[in-house]
Chains A and B, each alone.
Chain A
């Protein structure tokens, strides 16, 4: 955070030596190998994604023929994307996705930030016990609670609503844990200063801790939005109509009803519903990486 003192600044001579060192043959080879490995890894991870984009601009008959020709013979993108957008309420699915993801994220933050503050910085007797419970909560897979939740929602007549899609995720133990780890590192003296100045505990959280935790909040938001935007399992359990369907569920309904085996249009639809995530991540990228490294998660 503080600027390096003048004594630590490298001189021009030292900088030059450093550059020379980087130009040594063994260094160059080492760098090349490292980058080749990284590129290969990136290709491997990106291949399905790239294939999706390529398929989304192919003609239907070209999708299954001619082996693995990566470059489409003719550009069929306009038809495929037009088909995807016209033949299915894709925009409505995405709107549902936005509502569900935003609703989940907002409640998650409203619950997790105060809980994390209490677990990190407030003194009370059962705090260690509560923290252990949070850690235990991390180990419970969502499938375990699916049945009781479903029955509860059914008896309240709440199936097939936005609320039903969102409710299991309102309380994120992962978020509590992540923010608690971050708040733990926040200097106690600043919180003491705020208490002396007359801040209420909630004001300390909102006016002092949250602005400092923005990178961690951004990182968690990316996790949360991605997983709930892409979630198929729970919406499939509680939703039956397309009205409340989130994008992946919508895609499934769309495939069954309309397109059958028009994979070009299907991939175009997939590309459209993935786009918001990619854009969100690109925007939040720097904060995200900082948040991950700062909280010491991973």
Chain B
């Protein structure tokens, strides 16, 4: 168990900068997720932490000690790879045992025939067998120990990869998109299994994914990456309700945030005819982008709140809630999605308020205003406890 510090780490491959002065503190025992679109440098960070790829600049510390001079096996980190990276010609048992064999047997003892001459080899191997068996039982793969990786399903391979990582009791667990090769149903199941595993082991986890749902549901904290930089680090609720950058607002949440063009006025921000009384740190008349989460647009009568007029084009009834698709009149004709609970939808329909257009009420306190570069201006901190976190849709 150990905290992990990444201190202004940079890395480029042949002239193209992949990591640009990335800093990140992971607390001891924390489940931290790095999320971002493909190619933003997530795997590269993991490889730098593990020592598989030397960084060009910056430092990595594990448990307060610099590890930059240590080789991968000396850093006591374990990694689960996206492709699982099992040794193809070894049985499941050997796959899981390998880290321990490499750790506890000396080089000469690992040689095919000469190794058997060592008196302590048999004893060490018996110990290792016991530990491999224990890990296999925890992961429910005891019956697979004799098989080769090619004879396993995707889910089973994943468990073997987890077992190989667990067996050495690492200080830090690195996981590179471990669920991305599983089918949808197993993926949802494994999310809870991995968080359970994290709780049981109590070890620091750095988890990489491009799937914001995984990031939101599994993590203590999330770091959103884009083009080799960490854009925002915070709890899932922070990233959802208080994004500091348009990229964060867009990446987190499904269906995605609505973004409408607006203008800074003396009293706040004007968007599609609605006046949002928001304190904004920008000059009057400046063009801004206003982010509105689909569930913050209300179909109920506005009761004095600012409103947007929306031309509807499609409705998707998901049972408990309804997605209404349309375009915002007067706000650059931007596409917009409203996420309404079924009862609100039914009330609106019964009251005849859904006749091809609809008027929705905007909650200014929950609107995000970004400047032309996508930086948040006019930030109103939201108490995470006050705002309910909606469960992200698949």
Q: Contacts A190-B85, A195-B72, A197-B102 given; 5 further ones with Cβ under 8 A?
A: A193-B85, A193-B86, A196-B78, A197-B164, A198-B99
Evaluate whether A203 and B110 lie within 8 angstroms (CB atoms) in the complex, with A1-B150, A192-B52, A196-B50 already known.
Answer: yes
- The answer to whether A38 has its CB under 8 Å from any CB of chain B is no
In the complex the two chains form, what is the Cα distance from A30 to B83 in whole Å? 43
Q: Which residues of A contact B88 (CB under 8 A)?
A: 190, 208, 211-212
Please tell me if the beta carbons of A190 and B87 are within 8 angstroms of each other in the complex: yes
- The answer to whether A141 has its CB under 8 Å from any CB of chain B is no
Grouping DSSP codes into helix (H, G, I), strand (E, B) and loop, the A interface class, with mixed when no group exceeds half, is helix
Please tell me if the beta carbons of A200 and B79 are within 8 angstroms of each other in the complex: no
What 7 A-B pairs are tightest by C-beta distance, nearest first?
A: A198-B102, A198-B73, A189-B85, A211-B89, A193-B85, A197-B99, A189-B81
- The answer to whether A199 has its CB under 8 Å from any CB of chain B is yes
Evaluate whether A195 and B89 lie within 8 angstroms (CB atoms) in the complex, with A1-B150, A189-B83, A200-B107 already known.
Answer: no
- The answer to whether B82 has its CB under 8 Å from any CB of chain A is yes
Evaluate whether A192 and B107 lie within 8 angstroms (CB atoms) in the complex, with A199-B102, A208-B87 already known.
Answer: no
What sequence of 0s and 1s flags, for each residue 67-94 of chain B, a beta carbon within 8 Å of any chain A beta carbon?
0000111000111011101111100000
Q: Which residues of A contact B87 (CB under 8 A)?
A: 190, 193-194, 207-208
In the complex the two chains form, what is the Cα distance from A125 to B47 in whole Å? 20
Interface residues in chain A, defined as those with a beta carbon under 8 Å from any beta carbon in chain B: 1, 187, 189-190, 192-200, 203, 207-208, 211-212
Q: Tell me the minimal C-beta distance from B77 to chain A in angstroms.
A: 7
Q: Tell me the minimal C-beta distance from A297 to chain B in angstroms.
A: 22
Evaluate whether A195 and B73 lie within 8 angstroms (CB atoms) in the complex, with A190-B87, A190-B88, A211-B89 already known.
Answer: yes
Chain A, residue nearest B76 (CB): A196
Chain B, residue nearest A195 (CB): B72
Picked from B47, B71, B102, B168, the residue with its CB within 8 Å of the CB of A192 is B47
* Chain A to chain B contacts (Cβ below 8 Å), 10 pairs: A187-B85, A189-B83, A190-B88, A192-B52, A192-B79, A193-B86, A195-B71, A195-B72, A198-B73, A208-B88
Interface residues in chain B, defined as those with a beta carbon under 8 Å from any beta carbon in chain A: 47, 50, 52, 71-73, 77-79, 81-83, 85-89, 98-99, 102-103, 107, 110, 150, 164, 168
Query: Using a Cβ cutoff of 8 Å, how many contacts connect chains A and B?
Result: 60
Q: Which residues of A contact B89 (CB under 8 A)?
A: 208, 211-212
Q: Tell me the minimal C-beta distance from A7 to chain B in angstroms.
A: 13
Q: Which residues of B contact A189 (CB under 8 A)?
A: 81-83, 85
In the complex the two chains form, what is the Cα distance from A208 to B98 in whole Å? 12
In the complex the two chains form, what is the Cα distance from A208 to B89 in whole Å? 7
In the complex the two chains form, what is the Cα distance from A203 to B73 in whole Å? 14
Chain B, residue nearest A192 (CB): B52
Chain A, residue nearest B74 (CB): A198
Please tell me if the beta carbons of A196 and B52 are within 8 angstroms of each other in the complex: yes
Q: Tell me the minimal C-beta distance from B111 to chain A in angstroms.
A: 10
Q: Which residues of A contact B103 (CB under 8 A)?
A: 198
In the complex the two chains form, what is the Cα distance from A194 to B89 in whole Å? 13
Q: Tell me the minimal C-beta distance from B194 to chain A in angstroms.
A: 19
Q: Which residues of B contact A195 (CB under 8 A)?
A: 52, 71-73
Evaluate whether A193 and B73 lie within 8 angstroms (CB atoms) in the complex, with A198-B102, A208-B89 already known.
Answer: no
In the complex the two chains form, what is the Cα distance from A189 to B84 in whole Å? 8
Q: Tell me the minimal C-beta distance from A294 to chain B in angstroms.
A: 13
Q: Which residues of B contact A1 (CB under 8 A)?
A: 150
Please tell me if the beta carbons of B77 and A197 are within 8 angstroms of each other in the complex: no
Q: Which residues of A contact B85 (CB under 8 A)?
A: 187, 189-190, 192-193
Q: Tell me the minimal C-beta distance from A197 to chain B in angstroms.
A: 4
Q: Which residues of A contact B79 (CB under 8 A)?
A: 192-193, 196
Evaluate whether A196 and B150 lie within 8 angstroms (CB atoms) in the complex, with A189-B85, A208-B87, A212-B88 already known.
Answer: no
Please tell me if the beta carbons of B73 and A197 are within 8 angstroms of each other in the complex: yes
In the complex the two chains form, what is the Cα distance from A256 to B52 in whole Å? 64
Chain B, residue nearest A200 (CB): B107
Q: Which residues of A contact B168 (CB under 8 A)?
A: 197
In the complex the two chains form, what is the Cα distance from A212 to B88 in whole Å? 8
Q: Which residues of B contact A207 (CB under 8 A)?
A: 87
Q: Which of B71, B72, B77 has the most CB of A within 10 A?
A: B72
In the complex the two chains form, what is the Cα distance from A1 to B151 in whole Å? 10
Evaluate whether A196 and B73 lie within 8 angstroms (CB atoms) in the complex, with A190-B88, A203-B110, A208-B89 already known.
Answer: yes
Q: Tell me the minimal C-beta distance from A207 to chain B in angstroms.
A: 8
Q: Tell me the minimal C-beta distance from B172 to chain A in angstroms.
A: 11
In the complex the two chains form, what is the Cα distance from A197 to B72 in whole Å? 8
In the complex the two chains form, what is the Cα distance from A200 to B73 in whole Å? 10
In the complex the two chains form, what is the Cα distance from A198 to B83 in whole Å? 19
